[in-house]
Structure 1
Amino acid sequence: MTAARANCGWAGVASAVFNVSRQVGCAIGVALFGALLTSTGGTIDGLDASAVIAAVAFLLASALAATAGRRADVAQAR
């Protein structure tokens, strides 16, 4: 979505920013879930907490994506 909206001269930069943000987000997520796994009482408790947090994050991201998609459609219709 970032690269698609970028000016032709900046498409490479937009693509790079998207890829870097995705990689940084993955690294932070792995680190946080790893820390959560080791800080709880046991492995199963950590896995349960990680699964709940991941599910909530997924639902929030889905709602945000749906909202952003609708806003883009409304803006194009005008």
Structure 2
Amino acid sequence: MTPAWRLTTATFAAQPDASPCSAIGAMVCPAPSKLKVRQLAQQNQKLKRDLHRKDKALAETAALLVLQKKVQDIWKEDEDI
């Protein structure tokens, strides 16, 4: 890692995603506020709930497709007889 005193604007221009805190090191950067931490935690919980809901819906859809395929196979066997 480049020492903090050797960082230039070119360093930050080359890495637009990186914040100055990540380039310098965590010891120089201020700690996030409690409000920001709470907001991020709430957002994280919301995303987890949404993911869980979508995962359940996907599992239900997959189960229904399997059952539909089995019903079609049964009806196809009955028509062959």
Task: Normalising by structure 2, report the TM-score.
Answer: 0.44
Which structure's CA Rg is the greater one?
A: 2
TM-score (norm 1): 0.46
Query: Which has the bigger relative contact order, CA under 8 A and spacing at least 6?
Result: 2
Structure showing the higher helix proportion among its residues: 1
